[in-house]
Amino acid sequence: MMTEYESTTPFDYDSLVTPVYDHNVQIFTSHFVPVLYSLVFIFGLLGNALVVLVLIRYKKLKSMTDIYLLNLALSDLLFIFSLPFWAYSAADEWIFGKAMCKIFAGIYQAGFFSGSFFIILLTIDRYLAIVHPVFAQKARTVVYGILTSLIAWFVALSASVPELLFLQVEKQHEKCTCLLHYPIATAKVWKQFLNSMMFLLGIVIPWVILVFCYVQIIKILMRDMNRRKMKAIRLIFVIMILFSLLWMPYNIAVLLNTFDGLCNQDGGCSNKLLLAVNVTQVIAMSHCCINPVIYAFVGEKFRRHLCILWQKYMACYLCKICPGRYHPNLERSTSYSMTTSQHDVSTGL
């Protein structure tokens, strides 16, 4: 195998668990990475599952925004689904075989791409609702929401396919790893092409669209400033800053490796860069915990539905534990949701 293929450097873009041999980096990877992956999995699963439950149970997917929020939550759930397996691999080694290596890497890639695409679609949805409200009445329909979502998933899955062709399971330093192995003759070209594609689709294009759309939205909101609009503008800056802080450091570190910016002649990269990639990778993964907060939980109507959901199911749980002490008025909660659901204060944000 090693005579036919050239093993990539330990931190290719989608090599989720990197085989590192520096002592400090190895300690971080084997001890801290599994814990951090587990935390991202738990909080990401909880937050996105609540988004899916509220959208399906209460909001009934009656708008384009609801369709995009649902798909963003599903893409985040898809993204984190493989994290327990990568956490185990970081702590020990890859024991799940070649087929699962390709499957889970594909799931991770599809979740990454689709998450970026649905953030783009949500941004455009807000842009149309605020900057072009007349056109938005015709364009922001459930049908168009489903159609564009299907296109986004198709592109995400298509973009995930190329790297699956090169994934292999191989023993290095007595441990099995799930890594990319490019053909020697075209290794550098493939590596630069695929990582550049991910940087372009995952960072550059979303960032350009975010900046353009939100600048136009801010211009509209500032025409007649009030407290609610100031809150919306602050949220815009939070979204843009978080997107940059979570994804930009990791992508920059990967690009430095991809184009051999800080690498030695033998292909081994500096330990500082290797540690930076591992740290920023975990930071980037935390986006699936933050997305439910900045895209769903900030909405007043969504929080109202979440409170009703909590009261209903928590009340049922408490009734089973203490049937003589806790008697919730679920009818009042239902009535509240019916009378207040018409007052959605969000302005596309």
Quick one: pLDDT band at residue 52, thresholds 50, 70, 90?
very high
Find which of 17-31, 65-79, 180-194, 244-258 is predicted with most confidence, using mean pLDDT.
65-79
All residues at 6 or more sequence positions from 271 whose CB lies less than 8 Å from its CB, including other chains: 22, 24, 25
- Per-domain residue ranges of the chain: 7-291
How far is the C-alpha of 79 from the C-alpha of 98, rounded, in Å? 19
* Highest mean pLDDT of the ranges 3-12, 22-31, 242-251, 297-306: 242-251
Rg (CA), the chain: 23
Query: Is pLDDT above 80 for 282?
Result: yes
pLDDT of residue 344: 36
pLDDT at res. 10 = 35
How far apart (Å, rounded) are the C-alpha atoms in residues 151 and 227?
37
Helices (H), the chain: 23-27, 33-54, 64-81, 83-91, 97-131, 133-139, 142-164, 187-199, 205-221, 227-258, 271-285, 287-292, 300-321, 330-340
Confidence at 248, pLDDT banded by 50, 70, 90:
confident
Q: How far apart are CA 59 and CA 53, in angstroms?
A: 9
Q: Measure the CA–CA gap between 112 and 72, rounded to whole angstroms.
A: 10
* Mean pLDDT to the nearest integer, 211-216: 93
List the beta bridge partners of residue 180: 167
Cα(89)–Cα(95) distance, integer angstroms: 7
- For the residues 77-93, what does the mean pLDDT come to? 89
Instruction: Give domain 7-291's CATH superfamily.
Output: Rhodopsin 7-helix transmembrane proteins (1.20.1070.10)
State the chain's mean pLDDT as an integer: 79
